[in-house]
A and B are shown apart, each in its own frame.
Chain A
């Protein structure tokens, strides 16, 4: 390479990425930094935000059991949602993958399509289905004899987890689906020719290979569920607070921005640690097998 060409290829990437880089520094990194700073500011009912450096908000979050309970609830909902999507989504992806061409693409569209439909509309649907003690879901479960008395879904964690699992399900199906696509199409025949039955094939051959897909789907679902806003706000209502709805309240109702910023910062840090940590774990676990 000539000197001029070499210099050009050194400069070119920076020239091309400079606009986007400036955009991200200017209106993403700076606002995020401002939010972290905000969490250290003081706030009073009448004096508003005072730009000082104190640990008051962090101290409050650390000592007031209300926040511990709220964060525990947030993560409990996210974990249950993740489990539910994995337990139902992974088998469904497998079943889909075994269907023949036309049905496969049709049902894939039916299951993944909701991904692009407004979260508000989908959650509204669950609110209608749950709708108090004589909602459709309760009527159906009771007429099937599965339950004796109506289960409260609205304004409960059960309801939030169900609706959230529905919203997140496409991510899990898609992730497992992608893992299934990487399977050798002859792998089941190979196992069968060696004498393995259907249950053995699923347990010994399929499950270990789609596990990375399930896990990466779980990370996506977990992080989106833990920071979900619309579904907990509509199904959970005002009393069942999670991190996102609490921050919303602090900002737009109580107007205690510094405290809301602290809650948001904590949520961000916790999620980044969890996601980065589990990604690293998964990668190490499967490095040998799936490069």
Chain B
């Protein structure tokens, strides 16, 4: 039972079509049998998906993106989990300043971060290296990892920990057996959101990547800069398919609404 009038439903339909159209057109063009950009009106073909195999730089870039996303999200969590626990439980001087600092990468334009890291890592002699990419990505995904962990740590029932302490647990055992399992859903979704953020970043990475450390978005961007042909649509279609699969998995195991709510707060 919808309480929307016909006008509202027409608006909604047009809105949804416009939202979906660009994504749909990319996926459709990817299946064209022609040698140029066109909708597959004369049947579907996989030729442009097969063509990807002839461009090892795309495949290499994919692995770089995957490794970079997984690793930088993990490292970010190693720093973010203790910080989140401190911010969630203690009222100390400088707490608000620290929290603002840790969330600041959301507010700093990625182009500025790209320039800052380029300058920094070039001076340090690490320009274009994978290590530099990891560090840079740790910074940009940190707020996402922190925010979801923080939400879990704030929502956690502290008396459970007190109960564990009263039963003799302490220090590392307390963290590993009680605290971590309780905040784990937040930590895992923080990782997933951080991964997606890292996997998708172009603006900052385009400054830092060198041949060999180019990520998939960078490779695609540089390719589009030269020319747009069906090959880049088939690569995009693959990226879209992978993202969708990850989304479905995330939704099954955690609930997409919670993940999206975390991402939607960018900039505050």
Contact = CB atoms under 8 A, between A and B. Distances in A.
Q: Is A–B contact present in the complex under a CB 8 A cutoff?
A: yes
A53 B25 CA distance: 51
Interface string B225-265: 10010001100100110011011000100001100110111
A272 B4 contact: no
B115 A247 contact: yes
Contacts of A164: none
Interface in B1-43: 1-4, 8-9, 11-12, 15-16, 18-26, 29, 37
B104 interface: yes
Interface in B58-107: 78-80, 82-83, 85-87, 89-90, 92, 95, 98, 101-102, 104-105, 107
Interface string A98-116: 1110010101111111111
Contacts of A124: 22, 26, 220, 224, 228, 232-233, 236
B120 interface: yes
Contacts of A12: 86, 90
B133 interface: no
A233 B223 CA distance: 12
25 contacts: A13-B87, A13-B95, A14-B86, A17-B86, A17-B98, A20-B102, A27-B135, A31-B117, A88-B15, A111-B19, A116-B196, A117-B200, A121-B236, A124-B26, A124-B233, A128-B22, A129-B25, A170-B264, A175-B264, A220-B265, A227-B111, A248-B207, A251-B118, A267-B112, A268-B108
Contact of A100 (B2, B107, B264): B2
A229 B110 contact: yes
A280 interface: no
Given A20-B82, A113-B247, A115-B263, A272 B26 contact: no
A261 interface: yes
A286 interface: no
B116 interface: yes
B90 A169 contact: no
Contacts of B78: 19
Contact of A125 (B23, B116, B221, B260): B23
Nearest to B85: A16
Contact of B87 (A17, A175, A223): A17
B116 A35 contact: yes
Nearest to B90: A13
A245 to B, nearest CB: 9
Interface in A176-200: 178
B181 interface: no
B102 A24 contact: yes
A243 B247 contact: no
B111 A243 contact: yes
Contact of A268 (B109, B232, B268): B109
- Of the four ranges (under 10, 10 to 19, 20 to 34, 35 or more), the interface on chain A belongs to 35 or more
A27 B120 CA distance: 8
Nearest to A169: B19
B206 interface: yes
A257 interface: yes
A127 interface: yes
Nearest to B200: A118
Contacts of A171: 264, 266
A35 B232 CA distance: 34
B155 interface: no
Given A28-B105, A35-B119, A118-B236, A91 B92 contact: no
Contact of B115 (A13, A20, A35): A35
A68 interface: no
Contacts of A114: 19, 23
Contacts of A175: 264
B180 to A, nearest CB: 14
Given A32-B116, A95-B11, A129 B22 contact: yes
Nearest to A162: B18
A219 interface: yes
A31 B120 contact: yes
Contact of A229 (B2, B20, B206): B206
A224 B228 CA distance: 25
